[in-house]
């Protein structure tokens, strides 16, 4: 039944857009990729990703999807996988997997870890079910031939694979001599709401990013905030260029990232070397001396609370990150031009753990 919804299909490859235009002429086509969606912020109610999320640069894609979704909008992920526990299907799968050459695969489930390393969405719900498609032997061959690795292989390789599939169908007890066979699938659907927090003194850690040095810093499941920085983090140009007690932690806001993206620059958690990306904290209200209490421990008066950090100074942009900016205009995140979108440095007053989803509370410095 028609839903009345306007559907936009995002696809980076011109040939695929042409095929979709022929198959679904009523669908509006948009050239682009999940990591750089050419749509305004808060412009869509739902984003559906089928058979594709495991190909994405997850932190960039999740940040972009969060940006384009309206408050309360939903992200839905879906996969339909052959049930290779069935012997003949497993044998066909072995032929296909031999062509994969180390490309990302949904079955290795690395994408689940990517979801856990971001708190830009509410906890995901999921549903799984088993189903099958009744096909002739030729239908199975057509299905195998349409798999991207098979379709993109050399003609001789493709012919060998299809010949081997034919041999399996003719010899396996479940398929031999049968006019039709059931190709079994396991389907999984996951969905979550966009996490939206009104700007104020309470927020969450949306992403924790660290590495041994250099940018961007990839997302992590969590670590500890130590006196001189995050455990496991480092700098290519250590103190006095980067790091040190007064610049132990680099902070940014997901809301600022999305504003920078709206201006046509590349931005995502960790892109500019920040360690913590926060969601919900009123960034424009921050002042040097403000403190941020992390975790359920609450304020600084709680002796056994979580980590406590104190803002020391804005983090000025440098040429190392200029390639992320259109026209290399790094002033877009300079506190002299856009203080509401600048990064902050902080010193560590109390060590403690940090992880995506952890609560953050701003303790404002007294003024006057």
One pLDDT digit (tens) per residue for the chain, 368 residues: 467 789 999 999 999 999 999 999 999 999 999 999 999 999 999 999 999 999 999 999 999 999 999 999 999 999 999 999 999 999 999 999 999 877 777 777 888 999 999 999 999 999 999 999 999 999 999 999 998 889 989 999 999 999 999 999 999 999 999 999 999 999 999 999 999 999 999 999 999 999 999 999 999 999 999 999 999 999 877 666 577 999 999 999 999 999 999 999 999 999 999 999 999 999 999 999 999 999 964 444 433 479 999 999 999 999 999 999 999 999 999 999 999 999 999 999 999 999 999 999 999 986 65
Two structure tokens written together for 27: 């669908």
112 found inside a domain:
yes
Pair (134, 212) in one structural domain: no
Pair (188, 208) in one structural domain: no
Residue 273 structural domain: 202-363
Pair (37, 175) in one structural domain: yes
Tell me the chain's radius of gyration from C-alpha atoms: 25
Single out the residue in 143, 174, 193 at which a domain terminates. 193
Q: Is residue 163 helix, strand or coil?
A: helix
16 found inside a domain:
no
Pair (137, 222) in one structural domain: no
Asked whether the bond before 240 is cis by omega within 30 degrees of 0, the reply is yes
pLDDT for res 103: 77
Residue pointed to by tokens 């913590």: 276
DSSP state of 356: T
13 found inside a domain:
no
295 found inside a domain:
yes
pLDDT for res 236: 79
25 found inside a domain:
no
Specify the CATH number for the domain of residue 137: 3.40.50.150
pLDDT for res 235: 85
pLDDT for res 243: 76
Residue pointed to by tokens 């239908």: 139
Single out the residue in 138, 172, 193 at which a domain terminates. 193
Pair (278, 322) in one structural domain: yes
Whole-number Å distance between alpha carbons of 163 and 158: 9
67 found inside a domain:
yes
Pair (230, 348) in one structural domain: yes
pLDDT for res 240: 61
With a CB cutoff of 8 Å and minimum separation 6, the contacts of 97 are none
Pair (209, 96) in one structural domain: no
Single out the residue in 173, 193, 213 at which a domain terminates. 193
Specify the CATH number for the domain of residue 254: 2.40.33.20
pLDDT for res 118: 96
pLDDT for res 239: 64
Pair (131, 226) in one structural domain: no
Pair (264, 156) in one structural domain: no
Whether 332 and 265 have beta carbons less than 8 Å apart is answered as: yes
Pair (258, 336) in one structural domain: yes
Model's pTM, two decimal places? 0.91
CA atoms within 13 A on the CB side of 328: 5
2 found inside a domain:
no
Report the domain count for the chain.
Answer: 2
Instruction: Tell me which H or E stretch contains 164.
Output: helix 155-171
Pair (303, 351) in one structural domain: yes
Residue-wise DSSP of 22-47 = HH-TTSEEEE-BTTB--S-TT-EEEE
28 found inside a domain:
no
- Pick from 311, 285, 297, 283: nearest CA to 359: 297
Pair (223, 141) in one structural domain: no
Distance set, CA 263 to CA 57, 64, 266, 326 (Å): 21, 13, 9, 9
Whether 258 and 277 have beta carbons less than 8 Å apart is answered as: no
Whether 119 and 195 have beta carbons less than 8 Å apart is answered as: yes
């Amino acid at each position: 039944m028609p839903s009345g919804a306007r559907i936009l299909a995002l696809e980076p490859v011109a040939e695929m857009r042409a095929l979709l235009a022929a198959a679904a002429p009523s669908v509006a086509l948009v050239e682009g990729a999940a990591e750089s969606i050419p749509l305004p912020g808060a412009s869509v109610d739902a984003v559906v990703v089928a058979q594709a999320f495991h190909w994405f640069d997850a932190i960039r894609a999740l940040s972009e999807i969060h940006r384009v979704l309206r408050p309360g909008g939903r992200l839905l992920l879906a996969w339909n996988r052959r049930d290779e526990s069935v012997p003949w299907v497993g044998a066909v799968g072995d032929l296909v997997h031999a062509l994969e050459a180390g490309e990302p695969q949904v079955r290795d489930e690395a994408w689940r870890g990517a979801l856990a390393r971001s708190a830009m969405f509410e906890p995901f719900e999921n549903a799984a079910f088993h189903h099958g498609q009744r096909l002739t032997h030729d239908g199975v061959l057509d299905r195998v031939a349409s798999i991207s690795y098979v379709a993109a292989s050399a003609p001789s390789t493709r012919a060998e694979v299809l010949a081997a599939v034919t041999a399996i169908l003719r010899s396996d007890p479940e398929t031999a001599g049968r006019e039709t066979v059931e190709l079994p699938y396991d389907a999984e659907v996951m969905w979550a709401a966009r996490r939206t927090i009104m700007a104020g003194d309470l927020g969450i850690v949306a992403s924790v990013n660290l590495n041994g040095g250099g940018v961007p810093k990839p997302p992590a499941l969590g670590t500890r905030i130590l006196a001189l920085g995050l455990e496991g983090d480092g700098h290519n140009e250590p103190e006095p260029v980067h790091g040190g007690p007064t610049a132990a932690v680099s902070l940014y806001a997901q809301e600022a990232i999305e504003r920078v993206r709206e201006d046509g620059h590349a931005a995502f958690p960790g892109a500019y070397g920040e360690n913590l990306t926060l969601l919900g904290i009123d960034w424009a209200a921050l002042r040097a001396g403000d403190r941020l209490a992390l975790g359920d421990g609450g304020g600084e008066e709680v002796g056994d609370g979580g980590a406590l950090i104190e803002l020391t100074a804005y983090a000025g942009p440098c040429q190392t990150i200029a390639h992320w900016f259109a026209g290399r205009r790094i002033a877009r995140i300079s506190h002299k031009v856009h203080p509401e979108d600048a990064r902050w440095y902080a010193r560590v007053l109390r060590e403690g753990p940090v992880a995506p989803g952890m609560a953050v509370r701003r303790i404002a410095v007294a003024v006057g």
